[in-house]
Amino acid sequence: MPNSQTTEVRFHLFSLKFTPYTGTTMSSTDILFKAVNYITDEYNDGKGYLIDRHQNREKDEPRELFMTKPVIMHREKRIRGTIALLRSNRIPLLKPADKFLLVPLDVTTGSIAEQTRFFIDFSKDYAVLCVEYNYHGPRATDIEYYLRSIVWQTLRVSKVTELSMYMNSTIDKTLAELKNVLNIEMKVQPNKLHNIDPDLQGQYFTGLSNLGQKIKPKFFRLEALFQSPGSVVKSKEINKEGIKMVKDILERIQKRPINLQGFEAFVVKYEDIAGKEEVFNLLSGKREILKEVDFAKIVKLRDWYELIEQDLNEFITSL
């Protein structure tokens, strides 16, 4: 039960698979180890691997990422680590304990960083990521991008990675049973639309993007009604365009979860093949581990691992 000393922390779950170059016999786990060992070697040499995920985006703020030394737990077949996001353009303020004023933090000796903890299970022929949810910090897609950058651009052992989110209400089930779209509710932040693939943006979100640049709202909330509430669905009223849009978005998120970051909310009310009304909520259907954390007691990364270990064991067993 939560109390005044604890904070609820969520961990989301993903699968991650590396595909080797044609003609090589390396497994996905082999490639993962190559990346982890490279990070460790850099750390031991007093260096690090820092990348800017937005280096080719002139209008976006830098998104500089780096991992500290990950730890391979061979007996448990797990890896524990952290990834940091530097906040060079957004300096937090500090309130002194005895005064009601805000004081800028001294950044002359370094950079402010947001840290996300993660754990990787490699007991299968693909990796399973358990990633702390940190709204201001790195996401699972940042971890995937960081590792892919190492194995592709530096080590030259893999160019393709597949990151998929585990969900309670599966996208596969919704796609298989979707007969007609009745209602779509979306909430998007204009400054996050760049996370949606350009071709998908061009098909469905160009108008929002242009309007966002002109009037600069914090977010758009949209509702599309394809028929009057409570009316009987008739085959001639089936909305093919609405179905196509929902399928295009869900299938793309399956292939490239980075697209999920373009949405604050995405809820679809639909009629299934049995004629029953169903609701699919993209962002509330994530498989997750919830923990109440006392940050004064759970300090070391090993402590964090022990906090979620049993839950992660049960999840891996269920796969």
Residues 6 or more apart whose CB falls under 8 angstroms from that of 14 comprise: 128, 129, 131, 140, 163, 164, 165, 166, 257
List pLDDT tens digits, range 286-319: 899 999 999 999 999 999 999 999 999 999 999 9
Burial class (CB in 10 A: 0-12, 13-18, 19+), 163: buried
Burial class (CB in 10 A: 0-12, 13-18, 19+), 27: middle
Averaged pLDDT score across all residues of the chain: 89
Q: For residue 69, count other CB atoms closer than 10 A to its CB.
A: 14
| Token reading at 189 | 């932040």
Which of 136, 140, 147, 135 shows the shortest CA–CA distance to 165?
140
Global pTM exceeds 0.95 = no
Residue 284: per-residue pLDDT: 77
CA 80 to centroid of chain Cα atoms: 18
Q: Of 16-25, 75-84, 173-182, which has the strongest mean pLDDT?
A: 75-84
How would residue 243 be classed by pLDDT, with cut points 50, 70 and 90?
very high
How many residues are there in the chain?
319
* CA dihedral angle for residue 76, residue 14, residue 258, residue 131, rounded to 10 degrees: -50
Which of 14, 10, 9, 2 shows the shortest CA–CA distance to 288?
10
Mean pLDDT value across residues 95-101: 83
CA distances from residue 278 to 19, 138, 282 in whole angstroms, order as listed:
36, 33, 13
Top-confidence residue, 116 or 68:
116
Question: d(Cα 256, Cα 50) in Å, to the nearest integer?
Answer: 23
Residue 236: per-residue pLDDT: 53
Mean pLDDT value across residues 29-38: 97
